[in-house]
Amino acid sequence: MGDIMLGKMFKSLFGSSGEGQKTASKSTTVVYDGFQIIAEPQLSNNQWQVAGRIEKQIGDTLKTHTFIRADTLPDEQGATNEMIRKAKMMIDQLGDGIFD
């Protein structure tokens, strides 16, 4: 019995208990200045991590920039909103340079 409890403790410490990172149940897409922002927060240790993609069709190629931030928030909607805010800032600052 002690080995089972010890194993559970290590699993919870190192995130291998099957409850590692889970993506949001649904993604939110926003179109901004010709870019698509796809918010996909990830559940990690009971917090929602800011994550998602920025995409843009350039000629025949769909360019994608994926990012996961260290920022975590207690709720999925908050992480979605923060991802969209950060993505808009990146678009404003870098434009198509996001894909370089």
Condensed to tens digits (0 to 9), the pLDDT of residues 19-44 reads: 445 555 678 999 999 999 999 999 99
Instruction: Evaluate if residue 88 carries a pLDDT over 60.
Output: yes
Domain tally, the chain: 1
Is 6 within a domain?
A: no
Q: What is the rounded average pLDDT of the residues 36-64?
A: 96
Is 9 within a domain?
A: no
Is 42 within a domain?
A: yes
Is 11 within a domain?
A: no
Is 5 within a domain?
A: no
pTM of the model: 0.74
Tokens of 45: 């240790």
Is 4 within a domain?
A: no
Domain with 68, as residue range(s), is 18-99
Is 2 within a domain?
A: no
User: Any idea what the CATH number is for the domain that residue 93 is in?
Assistant: 3.30.160.350
Which pLDDT value is given to residue 26? 75
Phi, psi of 78 (to 5 degrees): -60, -40
Is 13 within a domain?
A: no
